[in-house]
A and B are shown apart, each in its own frame.
Chain A
Amino acid sequence: MSALTAVPANILAAGTNNGSFVTPSISYAAIAPILIVLAAACVGVLFEAVLPRSQRFYAQVALTLAALLAAFIDVIAIRGHSVVTASRAIAIDGTSLFLQGTILVLGALAVLLLAERGVEPGSAIVAQAAVVVGSPADRRLASSDRVQTEIFPLALFAVGGMLIFPAANNLLLMFVALEVLSLPLYLMAGLSRRRRLLSQEAAIKYFLLGAFASAFFLYGVALLYGYADSANLSDILRAQNTSTQSDTLLYLGFGLLIVGLLFKAGIAPFHSWTPDVYQGSPTPVTAFMASCTKIAAFGAILRVLYVGFSVSNWNWRPIIWTVAIASIAVGAVVGLTQTDVKRILAYSSIAHAGFILMAVLAQNAQGQMDVSGLSSSLFYLAAYGLTTIAAFGMVTLVRDGNGEATHLSQWSGLARRSPLFAVTFTFLLLAFAGIPLTSGFTGKFVVFRAAYHSAAPLVVIALIGSAIAAFFYLRIVVMMFFAEPAEDGPSVVIPSALSTIAITVGTGATLVLGVFPQPLLDLADHAAKLRG
């Protein structure tokens, strides 16, 4: 009952319950990557204030890439670290470092796409978001090559939140990270240069639903705090054996918490925002969300389940079973009816989220959560993120007079005009479908292998789901290769070096991880360690 008398600071500094505030000791070396990114984001805001417009774009791009690179190098430098710091609120361990490294790489690739000005003079981002849609000023700006640069510090803030999210060992810190990563994304979703109303609608939808999800999450944290007398994951784990509180608090708290996380990861039945937001957002932002946000959200799910609920005397596994099946089914079946390439990829991401979620069901012979589930989801996340960035990067290149041509029918006969584009995109689709010699196959294989022992029926369901999903990937291939090109169809724009690098890295990684996955598998195995 000491919880009732504790001052709020004690929630973070759990355990020091003597009423006085103790400055927590912080291992700055361990959280340096996070600090680098957040500091660079603040500098980016300053750039907006002090630099003349002509210099901002290059300064911001350079700053953002340099910050992400520096943070990535730092993550490599502190590999092998395993500390729990800041009053046990942040755990820097193998898993969080692996995820942070992945997010930084994918974030950098997404920034390359954001900075692309070769396919559209002023980049895919609207020059001035506050101008009323369709007003004369808006039309003037749309055709100018003025570029908007606030998006780069926003992206950095989001990345900063994503770096904290999977490392947060304390649910309150996790909530703060959730908001830090979400708020910039809500904005970024509404900044499309073309089809601005659709983009703004997406932003509003994302914001409203995201706010609901955050509220769920916070309510869950409150209930768990009431149950365990602490918001710390390892304390919550311990409390499940010792707490005298009603189990209702635990069940409800867990349920609400997981709803918030599943929402961010885009898992059915909390997926309804995904297609609209993916479709409405500027495509580089979609690439960023589909890869980085998903990885961060899964990182948090993994930490909550593996640290907070790994050995519990109650069984939350049916919940995961249900949502995994729902996600695979919704992604595969509803994806069949879609006619927009971005929406198809959105439904594909819902199905993939279901596949990744299967991994956490992996159990060893003693019925404990098995570490193979952790390492296989790490591998899958990295592989999927790289393929996704490349796929959305390629979607930005198919354009006609109205901007990106994402309707499936507009892609007919693209292979005739741009065989290289069609072959590359087909390869990425085959990776999504899980055909051997692509990273998608290796990822599916490790996840299914991990889940096989404890969830064999789910593996079969997942395989049937992938067979159904293969149909809509094939539809795109059929359109590109076998249909006759339309007279006034879109063409494939040759991008500048920035997008080319992002697409090449993503596609190359998809191939390499399919043919020689061993190094990354080793790394994921090595990284699959969590500190409570």
Chain B
Amino acid sequence: MHNVSLLLLLAIPLLGSIVIFAMPTGRDLLAKQVALVFSIATFVFAIVLGFLFKVSDNRADRFQFQGSWTWIRSFGVHFAFGVDGIALVLIGMSTLLVPVVVLASWNSFDSVADAEEIAAANAPKRSAKTYFALLLLLEVFMIGVFAATDVFLFYVFFEAMLVPMYFIIGSFGGPRRQYAAVKFFLYSLLGGLLMLAAVIGVYVSAGTSSFAFTDLVGHVPNGATQKWLFLGFFIAFAIKAPLVPFHTWLPDAGAEAPAGGAALLVGVLDKVGTFGFLRYCLPLFPEASRYFAKPILILSVIGILYAAFLAMGQRDMKRLVAYTSIAHFGFIGIGIFAFTTQGGTGAVLYMVNHGLSTGLLFIVIGLLVARGKSRLISDYGGTARITPRLGGVFLLAGLSALALPGMSTFISEFLTLLGTFTRHKGIAIVATAGIILAALYVLLLYQRTMQGPVLEKVKGFRDLNARELFAVGPLIALILVLGVYPKPVIDIINPAVKFTMQDVGKTDPQPVSAAQPGGHK
């Protein structure tokens, strides 16, 4: 139980972050290069771990690369790491996004200097060093939050993650960055503190004097206590995810954060919420999860439709993408709380794909904003004619966001809806309407910014250069490859989802045929 590989995975970006923080100011280029090297090294190492991961239905292999060291003895807290299939694919997605974000925000990390009105005032440039060091620090916490197998340790990473993100939004964000950063921090902190109460409650009521996940599963007594504790975890994760009605911080944070920060915020940080549902809410509180499933499913469906309508009405591109993400999280929510293997697997795959596709969308918009110095849709028009490569990438990102067949997002959306349909027909049918709305808001966005008459200011735009293509290339490739051949990823996810469904005590319903119309329940 002293496998150090996950510890090493955490150590690489941590070392990189320390190195960059320690650099003298002014060495911006070196800071960027170091950040790139360390983030690529982390990704490579994560891929190596992915190949070493054993796909098996044996429960003993649920968590792999386990390492555990005593941290605070009197609480029973361990520095314990281990990954199941769900955590592994999410770590893979996160470690891929970081180097991509580093490359993409090479010259455009500073939304303050980019904003039109301030750029004119010649505001001082912010330190690139701090930005890239914060990115790597954030990566440490992101990996930690997925890899922790001790509930206390998970909580520590969950909260610590806020701090670098807060500074990324607050220091490098758009004009309303202060408001957005504080709103983001307070929302998350409130959720985190409710979760802290529940963490203590789980520990006390389970009576195992250990915070290890595997020690706690099945030890939380049923009844009212479990329901309250479930709500403590659930609200924290619902704020993070975010699920309607806990979502109002995301449009602000997503719009004001620098493009790279927004990609990580929506692509990875928000996944911690849905990951938390699967890893903690369901196994720790099976009875309460079943009890609350219906209301959560309904909230998720409301979220899908409500956020999609709001997305259509946005004039700010980044706000629009933030709202689309809220709609997508509704899909993940129904996939998880349908309690079917298909739904669960689809939801996990959705998390990965959504990270890739929204990450790509935010990055592309970031590149566009860096050229046009404005986030408003109305400031662009006919851009694709001037910058065909940017337009093409934008289109691809959009199509993956609306889950066109052939894109990886289609597979996950399909699986999620299929898994939900076998148990909750009505929910699945209403949710399907979200797909149509998604096509509307994505295509409208594309049409308004990329098609139509070419605006005067757009004429001077430069097309994507090699660095920018290198940044978006891996994401596009992965979206296409997983769209055609998702089997390796699904194979990794599937056993972990099955274990979770066993924990929650649900088996997949028999396939519903036309002869059994009453098959849902």
State the A residues within 8 Å of B (CB). Answer: 430, 433-437, 441-442, 444-445, 448-449, 452-453, 456, 459-460, 463-464, 466-467, 470-471, 474-475, 478, 481-483, 517-518, 521-522, 525
Contacts and interface: CB of A to CB of B under 8 A. Distances in A.
Contacts of B200: 445, 448-449, 452, 459
A478 B197 contact: no
Interface stretch (B51-59, B155-163, B402-410, B460-468): B155-163
B204 A435 contact: no
B201 A467 contact: no
A463 B194 contact: yes
A478 B170 contact: yes
16 contacts: A436-B155, A437-B156, A442-B72, A448-B196, A448-B197, A449-B204, A452-B201, A456-B197, A463-B193, A466-B193, A475-B182, A481-B171, A482-B170, A521-B72, A522-B74, A525-B74
B247 interface: no
B189 interface: yes
A311 B232 CA distance: 34
Interface of B: 72-75, 155-156, 159-160, 162-163, 167, 170-171, 177-178, 181-182, 185-186, 189-190, 193-194, 196-197, 200-201, 203-204
A459 B155 CA distance: 17
A453 B156 CA distance: 23
Nearest to A525: B74
A444 B155 CA distance: 14
A464 B193 contact: yes
B193 A467 contact: yes
A433 B197 contact: no
Contacts of B156: 436-437
B72 A518 contact: yes
Given A437-B156, A474-B182, A478-B170, 5 more contacts: A435-B159, A435-B160, A456-B201, A459-B200, A475-B182
A57 to B, nearest CB: 39
A21 B283 CA distance: 70
A435 B156 CA distance: 8
Contacts of B193: 434, 463-464, 466-467
A460 B232 CA distance: 10
Contacts of A517: 72
Contacts of A459: 197, 200
Contacts of A448: 196-197, 200
Contacts of B167: 481
B196 A463 contact: yes
A60 B503 CA distance: 68
Contacts of A467: 186, 189-190, 193
Contacts of B160: 435-437
B181 A478 contact: yes
Contacts of B203: 449
* Most A CB within 10 A of own CB, among B170, B189, B190: B189
A404 to B, nearest CB: 25
A463 B160 CA distance: 17
A375 to B, nearest CB: 9
Which 7 A-B pairs have CB atoms at the shortest separation, nearest pair first?
Answer: A436-B156, A463-B193, A467-B190, A482-B178, A436-B159, A482-B170, A521-B74
B363 to A, nearest CB: 24
Contacts of A444: 196
Contacts of B170: 478, 481-482
Q: Which among B73, B156, B171 has the greatest number of chain A C-beta atoms within 10 A?
A: B156
Contacts of A442: 72
Nearest to B187: A467
A430 B75 contact: no
Contacts of B201: 452, 456
Contacts of B197: 448, 456, 459-460, 463
A456 B201 CA distance: 8
Contact of B74 (A471, A481, A482, A518): A518
